[in-house]
DNA sequence: CCTATATTCAACCAAGTGGTTGAATACCAA
DNA sequence: TTGGTATTCAACCACTTGGTTGAATATAGG
């Protein structure tokens, strides 16, 4: 069995389990920003966003560089890649399922062709 | 912007953020099992595992079929696929980073060739 | 120096989590 | 019916989480 950096995966998955944090990542994917800039679009307090950023930082998803009173944050995608690698192990399962679904659709189409006009 | 089924993603990512639950999924990827069978390898109580399975079920990752007193569980990979789709949006970022890393290594090798023997 | 800005710290709250134990429920089988 | 097995329910605990408000800290700029 492949060895995973379990604790990192824990933190990464937990970090992206929150919609606000996913939105923060999406924003930073466009361009780096300071805490205040990141917080602007969100309906919660700056403090709340500051905490979210801390969670993302601890998951390794955000790199913070302090410049004077501003904290510049940028995305670090590396942990997302690790998460993706973990998920890929399950790809074969959903591929199988999609194959089955496709076969089912094809079968249904053939049936429809035979019994033309019937809707079941 | 792509539309996500936010609540499902929340539950899926939260579900896989726990190492025990990831291990449960890995087991079910081998073959379906009952609660007791699933619980056997783990050092926690059956009740604890039962709760984990409930979390996985609510995330849509496990399908439960009750047969008499046994609950047969099997993996449903569909939500993992959705999680993977979300992650894929960030692939370009880690691809970029890997490219940069590769360039860096190549550059370093060239430098090493020039200043032969120096270790920095 | 003074004031506005950027951010964190601290305390608090309600709700959720991961675990426990013990009891309840439901089923199978002798 | 009686007993063993499979599972959940219920209550509890310590800890975490996502949010708040208010104060503290540090920097920037007139």
Domain boundaries, chain A: 6-80, 90-120
Strands in A3-118 per DSSP E: 33-34, 62-67, 70-75
Q: Which of residues 58-87 of A touch strand C (CB under 7 A)?
A: 64, 69-72
In chain A, which residues have their Cβ closer than 8 Å to the Cβ of B77? 90, 93-94, 97
Q: Which fold has domain B6-80?
A: Arc Repressor Mutant, subunit A (1.10.10)
pLDDT band of residue A94 (cuts 50, 70, 90) is: confident
pLDDT < 70 positions in chain B: 1-5, 97-120
> Is the CB of A95 within 7 Å of strand D?
no
- Give me the pLDDT at residue B28, please: 97
**Residue B4 CB-density burial (10 A; 0-12 exposed, 13-18 middle, 19+ buried):** middle
CB atoms within 10 A of CB A96: 11
Give me the pLDDT at residue A119, please.
40
Write the pLDDT tens digit of every residue in A24-70: 999 999 999 999 999 999 999 999 999 999 999 999 999 999 999 99
What is d(CA A107, CA A101) in angstroms, rounded to the nearest whole number? Answer: 10
Rounded distance between C-alpha atoms, residue B34 and residue A104, angstroms: 28
- Given a cut of 60, whether residue A117 has pLDDT beyond it is no
Nearest CA distance, B66 vs chain A (angstrom): 22
Is the pLDDT at A96 greater than 90? The verdict is no
Q: Which residue has the tokens 């992650």?
A: B87
Q: Is the pLDDT of residue A1 over 70?
A: no
In angstroms, the CA B12 to CA B85 distance is 13
């Amino acid at each position: 069995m492949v060895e995973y950096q379990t604790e990192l995966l824990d933190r990464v998955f937990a970090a992206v389990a929150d919609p606000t944090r996913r939105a923060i990542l999406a924003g930073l994917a466009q361009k780096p920003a300071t805490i205040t800039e990141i917080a602007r679009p969100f309906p919660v307090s700056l403090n709340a966003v500051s905490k979210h950023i801390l969670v993302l930082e601890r998951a390794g998803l955000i790199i913070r560089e302090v410049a004077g009173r501003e904290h510049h944050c940028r995305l670090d995608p590396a942990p997302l890649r690790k998460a993706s690698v973990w998920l890929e192990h399950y790809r074969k399962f959903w591929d199988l399922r999609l194959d089955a679904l496709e076969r089912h659709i094809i079968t249904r189409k053939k049936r429809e062709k035979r019994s033309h006009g019937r809707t079941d």
